[in-house]
């Protein structure tokens, strides 16, 4: 018997506050270890789709199930708990906290999960090494380049061993060469953690790394 998908999105519909339809009939199934890239025009709702999957926004109708849990059945605290345990995020703008060290930034998800400081620090050090920043646990973000910061963000995204990684334009602020390296790192870490990942991107080059490329339109997700 086939195991259920990691992420199952069924007939999702979303309108914006002015009652304009953003998208409808959006469905997707994602397996563990699979990377799906979602492309589309600006304003079509790619980031909104990610926010719905993360439980940060609610769809008008449809279901989102993560690892067997229907998000609609969870209250706000429940969705927050789900994000803490099972979802990792990589953002276009990195969002590395400037007043924390690199080690603290990476360990942030573990700290939210009440992991002991020693264990969290050790994991952060290992992850920073694995993303090519060995021994820099005590450095501050202002000492790093954009590419290095995104590597820190990737390390943070997988620190708590999430089952799902959501990456919103992770290479949007990077030069092409760095973008390729960072993307490769993300995919490697994702596969290593046996997590599934949804990658929202404008970049054809970035999308090409994915197992599937889909295009979001107002009438649903279609193969690109």
Partner 1 sequence: MSAWRASIVPRWMFIGEWRAHPVRILTAVVAIAVGVALGFAVHLVNASALDRFVRGLATVNGGADLRIEAAGPGGFSEQLYPRVSRLPGIASASPVIVLRARIDGREIDLLGLDALRVASATPRLLPRPTTAGGAMAVLDPRSVFLSPAALAERHVGETASLVVDGRPQVFTIAGTLPGVSDRALGAIDIASAQDRFGRLGRIDRIDLRLATGADPDKLRAAIASILPADAVIASPTDDGNRADALSRAYRVNLEMLALVALLTGSFLVYSAQSLSITRRRSHFALLRVMGASRRMVLGQLMAEGLILGFVGSAIGVAGGAALAFGVLRLIGGDLGSGTFATGGTPPLQFDGFAALGFAVLGIVAALIGSLLPARDAVRVMPAVALKNSGDAIDPRRRPSVAMALLLAFVGAGFAFLPAVGGIALFGYGAVGLLLAAGIAAMPWLARTLLAPLARRSFASPVVTLAIDRLWGAPSQAAVALSGTVASVGLMIAMAVMVTSFRVSVDEWLGQILSADLYITADNGTPFDPAAQMRLRAVPEVARILFGTQHPMKLVADRPSLTLVVRDSAAEALPKLGRAAAARPGTLGVQISEPAARLYGLSPGSKLTLPLGARSIRATVTSVYRDYARQEGAVMIDAGQYLSLTGDAARGEAAVDLVPGADAAATMSALRRALPRAISDEVQILPTRALKARALAIFDRSFAITYGLELVAILVGLAGVAATSSAQTIARTREFGMLRHLGVTRRQIVAMLGVEGALLGLIGATRAWCWDAASRRS
Q: Which chain residues interact with partner 1 by CB under 8 A?
A: 47, 51, 54, 56-57, 76-77, 80-85, 87, 89, 91, 93, 95, 97-100, 104, 108-109, 111-114, 117, 120
Shortest distance in whole angstroms from residue 191 CB to partner 1: 22
Shortest distance in whole angstroms from residue 80 CB to partner 1: 4
- Strand pairing category for 212-217 and 21-30: unpaired
Helix (H, G, I), strand (E, B) or coil at 43: coil
Which runs of consecutive H residues, i.e. helices, occur in 31-167? 46-53, 76-86, 102-112, 117-130, 146-158
Structure tokens at 151: 């590597």
Closer residue to partner 1 in complex, CB, 26/213: 26
Q: How far apart are alpha carbons 27 and 75 in whole angstroms?
A: 23
Closer residue to partner 1 in complex, CB, 136/160: 160
Helix (H, G, I), strand (E, B) or coil at 112: helix
User: Could you give phi then psi for residue 56, rounded to 5 degrees?
Assistant: -85, -20
Closer residue to partner 1 in complex, CB, 3/142: 142
Closer residue to partner 1 in complex, CB, 122/180: 122
Shortest distance in whole angstroms from residue 90 CB to partner 1: 11
Shortest distance in whole angstroms from residue 221 CB to partner 1: 20
Q: How far apart are alpha carbons 160 and 124 in whole angstroms?
A: 10
Closer residue to partner 1 in complex, CB, 44/224: 44
Instruction: Please tell me the total number of residues recorded for the chain in this structure.
Output: 224
The answer to whether the beta carbons of residues 214 and 36 sit under 8 Å apart is yes
Shortest distance in whole angstroms from residue 117 CB to partner 1: 6
């Amino acid at each position: 018997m086939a195991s259920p998908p990691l992420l199952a999105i069924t007939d999702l519909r979303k309108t914006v506050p002015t009652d304009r339809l953003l998208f409808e009939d959006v469905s997707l199934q994602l397996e563990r270890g699979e990377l799906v890239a979602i492309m589309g025009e600006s304003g079509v709702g790619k980031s909104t789709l990610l926010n719905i999957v993360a439980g940060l926004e609610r769809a008008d109708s449809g279901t989102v199930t993560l690892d067997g849990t229907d998000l609609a059945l969870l209250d706000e605290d429940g969705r927050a708990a789900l994000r803490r345990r099972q979802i990792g995020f990589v953002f276009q703008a990195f969002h590395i906290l400037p007043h924390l060290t690199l080690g603290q930034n990476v360990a942030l998800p573990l700290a939210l999960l009440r992991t002991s400081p020693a264990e969290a620090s050790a994991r952060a050090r290992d992850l920073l090494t694995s993303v090519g920043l060995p021994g820099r646990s005590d450095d501050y973000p202002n000492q790093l380049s954009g590419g290095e910061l995104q590597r820190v963000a990737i390390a943070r995204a997988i620190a708590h061993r999430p089952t799902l990684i959501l990456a919103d334009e992770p290479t949007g602020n990077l030069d092409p060469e760095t973008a390729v390296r960072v993307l490769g790192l993300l995919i490697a870490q994702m596969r290593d953690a046996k997590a599934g990942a949804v990658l929202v991107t404008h970049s054809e080059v970035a999308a090409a790394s994915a197992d599937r490329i889909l295009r979001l339109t107002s009438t649903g997700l279609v193969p690109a």
